[in-house]
Structure 1
Amino acid sequence: MPLFQTAVFTTTVADLRDLPTDSQYEVAFAGRSNAGKSSAINTLANHTRLAFVSKTPGRTQHLNYFRLEEGKYFVDLPGYGFAKAPEEIRDQWEGLLAPYLRYREALCGLVLIMDSRHPLTELDLQMLGWFAPTGKPIHVLLTKADKLSRQQQVLTLREVRTVLTGIAGNCTQQLFSSLKKSGVQEAETILGAWLGLASRGERPPPTGLAGEKTARPKKRNAIGWSARRPCSRGKG
């Protein structure tokens, strides 16, 4: 049974004051529009339409919460690179995303979705450079890997690994294909460790980034929407 098969949609958040107060652990999914973010979430949850797959870039405008277990969530973030979106909507997204990613205490780590055919775009690098100082782990899913030859996969993975190593010590990366359902177990191992979810079936318990120490962002008393318990993933 897939580790995240129990995921169910719970709420859409357009205002930070409406963030779930019961949340203890959250893993956020970010990525450029059309990089395969919704498909990746659906594949990890073994569900065809848990996260909405849209042909229109930037369709997801809010934070969409999917409950895995009590107090544990996947959070689907708006796709970035939405040049065709109205300016007022772009401003709304930026006002929602920036404080969430920087100050949300329940946020355990960021899954950054990149199209393996076009990784490390300018916007991807901006997101990496901006989020890395929080000290929280980043895992890159290189989606649509089935569209690359084996040699191209190896070269792409090597290139991304080199760049990530220069950005932060707690970045990891892998190839992933929603079409072929490849890379699911590797992603489960890492994200399951962040969330404190026990592995199911005959697989060994997830190790992921467990044991690595990550810096905690400074607590901002003015932010009244943080979860009641901070995330403790990554502490040895």
Structure 2
Amino acid sequence: MHIQNVEFLVSAVSPAQYPEPLIPEIALAGRSNVGKSSFINAMINRKKLARTSSKPGKTQQLNYYQVEDWFYFVDVPGYGYAKVSKKEKGKWANMLQTYFSERENLELALLIVDFRHKPTKDDIAMKDFFVHYNIPYFVIATKTDKVKKSQWSKHMSEIYRTLNLETVDQILPFSAETKEGREEAWEIITDVLQGAFD
């Protein structure tokens, strides 16, 4: 997939700040520091459009990136960071609930998990949230370059079982470093935007 025009559009905390819902949206959800920004950068072949940080919990707003005139990537605040106050966590939870339950042009949620580790309770809760609100979702397992290929099957099975998925095919191994899974991710996104996702 060759993408030429991508721009950071806006950081939003409430529906009043969201862009007009004129094109579809694909949301990226995952725990802090799991690699959502790196995923976006790898997908669009840019090094620094989506801001990455070594400081977990830094993304505290919905960051909108417009891809061509085709769709928005929406990077949502990372969850599960212990040093964030309960009050701040509550604000984030309300922001995400409002976004995921009300945004009419949200076509797909990508649940970003770390391939190296068993999904967390927060990952499970996020997946259950998508199911509850009937939001199509797909699991992107990042940082596959950190795991030996001989161990992949074991890690895939652990993610599949922990998230209680219907099929292991709902998981896409991905590496922002090697671009493993990039073309497959574009196929998923294209299918969704063309109405062919099941």
TM-score, L = length of structure 1: 0.77
- The aligned residue for residue 188 of structure 2 is 190
- The aligned residue for residue 210 of structure 1 is 196
**Equivalent pair of 1:141/1:176 in contact (CA under 8 Å):** yes
- The aligned residue for residue 233 of structure 1 is none
**Equivalent pair of 2:10/2:64 in contact (CA under 8 Å):** yes
2:43 equivalent to 1:44: yes
In structure 2, the CA distance between the partners of 1:28 and 1:140, relative to structure 1 (3 Å rule), is same
| Matched-pair identity in % | 36
| Alpha-carbon displacement from aligned partner over 1:141-181 (angstroms, at most 9, x marks no partner) | 111101111121122123323455x4457x81111111111
- The aligned residue for residue 79 of structure 1 is 78
| Alpha-carbon displacement from aligned partner over 1:17-46 (angstroms, at most 9, x marks no partner) | 111114331000010111111111110111
2:65 equivalent to 1:66: yes
Quote the Cα distance in structure 1 between the aligned partners of 2:79 and 2:19. 23
Aligned CA-pair RMSD:
2.1
Quote the Cα distance in structure 2 between the aligned partners of 1:132 and 1:211. 15
| Alpha-carbon displacement from aligned partner over 1:123-155 (angstroms, at most 9, x marks no partner) | 101111121122222111111101111121122
Q: Secondary structure at the match of 1:89?
A: helix
**Equivalent pair of 2:29/2:109 in contact (CA under 8 Å):** yes
TM-score, L = length of structure 2: 0.90
**Equivalent pair of 1:5/1:47 in contact (CA under 8 Å):** no
Quote the Cα distance in structure 2 between the aligned partners of 1:122 and 1:43. 27
| Alpha-carbon displacement from aligned partner over 1:95-136 (angstroms, at most 9, x marks no partner) | 211111122111111101111011321110111112112222
Q: Secondary structure at the match of 1:152?
A: helix
Shift of 1:4: 4.4
Structure with higher helix content: 2
**Equivalent pair of 1:22/1:71 in contact (CA under 8 Å):** no
Quote the Cα distance in structure 1 between the aligned partners of 2:64 and 2:170. 24
- The aligned residue for residue 93 of structure 2 is 94
Stretches of structure 2 lacking an aligned partner (at least 5 in a row): none
